[in-house]
Structure 1
Amino acid sequence: MSAPTDWETALERHRRDKDSYFRDNPQSPIPDAERPDFEGLRYFSPDDDYRFELELHEHGDRERVVVATTTDGEREYLRWGEFRFEVGGEEQTLQAYRRDADDPGLWVPFRDETSGEETYGAGRYLDLHAEEDRTDDGRWVVDFNLAYNPFCAYSARYECPMVPVENRLDVAIEAGEKTYESSEGYDADAE
């Protein structure tokens, strides 16, 4: 086995920190009754094949999109641009959103062929930060190893935006966080 690369080391540290927060912090989304037995989240093994440096193809007309939430609410986003990449020899496209024009980051929600099987049925998210997730030449680092479940996967007391239909992939993204079995999470299969 080869030594971990810098991104793998950072990913493992991120996962340990998240587990510690979820176990010990009063603001954790893990229900109080489940915290004493919480041993950490489950993840796919780090995989460089799901880590991309991509150009964001920005939309000229940044359309406002209304996204339903898990509590029958709605949130508005701007469809900012799209990422184009290849998984398993198949071309894929994901839309990237911003809450408003001044937001420097991107929100990339998605569902894939693992959703409802190995991963949370309602989908997972990627948050891209302009300062941290950009290369020197301006491309974005889209790392599915950092894909995470929204808080409603742990407890239905949270309101989470649903993944827009346009961000449903027909391939498996075997990277990032897996399903968390909670007695209180939002039931994505009830849709």
Structure 2
Amino acid sequence: MNEYQKFREQIDEFMQHHPQSPLDEAHRLYFRGLFYYEPSPAYLVMATVTRFSAREPLVEMETSTGDRRRYRRWGRAHFTIDGEAAALTIYANPYEEDFFLPFRDATSGKETYGAGRYLDSHRPGLRQLGEGEIGIDFNWCYNPYCAYNEGYSCPLPPRENWLAIPIRAGEKVFHSSSR
């Protein structure tokens, strides 16, 4: 079993049984696991990063419930995927170096959750490799909790993080019925 499969099994266990799961009781009853793309090395990219000034004002990101959350723009990651040049802005908690990468792509609303998916520094998908370089492994991208339960308030990826290309990696759209 590879590290992706092992982690995905742990997430499925959490979703079905943990008291902090975003799934309500009805969804837990029929839950048989989340849906994912097969992991592919094509979606592990090395990006060069242009850092933003630490003095840049915080940005407000709209959420799925219309609230706003404040983030610091940490850096702009430039990379190539499937032969296409792309760039995404990496955000950080205003007071820490917790990285957060919300994005939408050409699969959003079709194969994946319509509002977008996330990568962050709490999972292996986003790793700072050195000054000016970051590893992005889209195989780790996941749906926000609002994909499973509209009671959650989730940051929406800003327009600067909408990719025109498909990212067929990581978690797919949630279906409430079994596989």
User: TM-score normalised to the size of structure 1?
Assistant: 0.84
Aligned position for 1:180: 174
The answer for the alignment partner of 1:113 in structure 2 is: 106
Verify the 8 A CA contact 1:153 1:182 in the aligned structure 2: no
Q: Give the C-alpha shift of residue 182 in structure 1.
A: 4.0
Q: Report Cα offsets for 1:55-90 as digits up to 9, x if no partner.
A: 332112534211111111111111110111112211
Please tell me whether the aligned partners of residues 104 and 130 of structure 1 are also in contact (alpha carbons under 8 angstroms): no
* Map 1:108-187 → 2, pairs under 5 A: 108-129=101-122, 133-135=127-129, 137=130, 139-182=133-176
Instruction: Give the alignment of 1:45-84 within 5 angstroms.
Output: 45-60=38-53, 61-84=55-78
What is the aligned-residue RMSD (CA, Å)?
2.0
Partners in 2 of 1:115 and 1:78 — Cα distance?
25
Tell me the equivalent position of 2:83. 89
Which one has the bigger strand percentage?
2
**After TM superposition, which residue ranges in structure 1, 4 or more long, deviate above 3 angstroms?**
129-132
Q: Distance in 2 between matches of 1:54 and 1:129?
A: 19
Q: Quick one: higher RCO (CA 8 Å, sep 6+), 1 or 2?
A: 2
Kept in 2: contact 1:92–1:169 (CA 8 A): yes
Which runs of 5 or more structure 2 residues have no equivalent in the other structure?
A: none
SS state of the match for residue 133, structure 1?
strand
Q: Tell which deviates more after alignment, 89-98 or 60-69.
A: 60-69
Q: Cα distance, 1:31 vs. partner? A: 1.5
Q: 1:21-64 CA deviation, whole Å, 9 max, x = no partner?
A: 00111111111111121110000000101012333321125342
Q: What residue in structure 1 maps to residue 36 of structure 2? A: 43
**1:186 aligned residue:** none
Q: TM-score, normalised by structure 2?
A: 0.90
Deviation string, structure 1 residues 129-186 (Cα, Å, up to 9, x no partner) = 5998344x45422110011000000001101011101100000000000000249xxx
Do the aligned residues in 2 keep the contact of 1:115 with 1:123 (CA within 8 Å)? Answer: yes
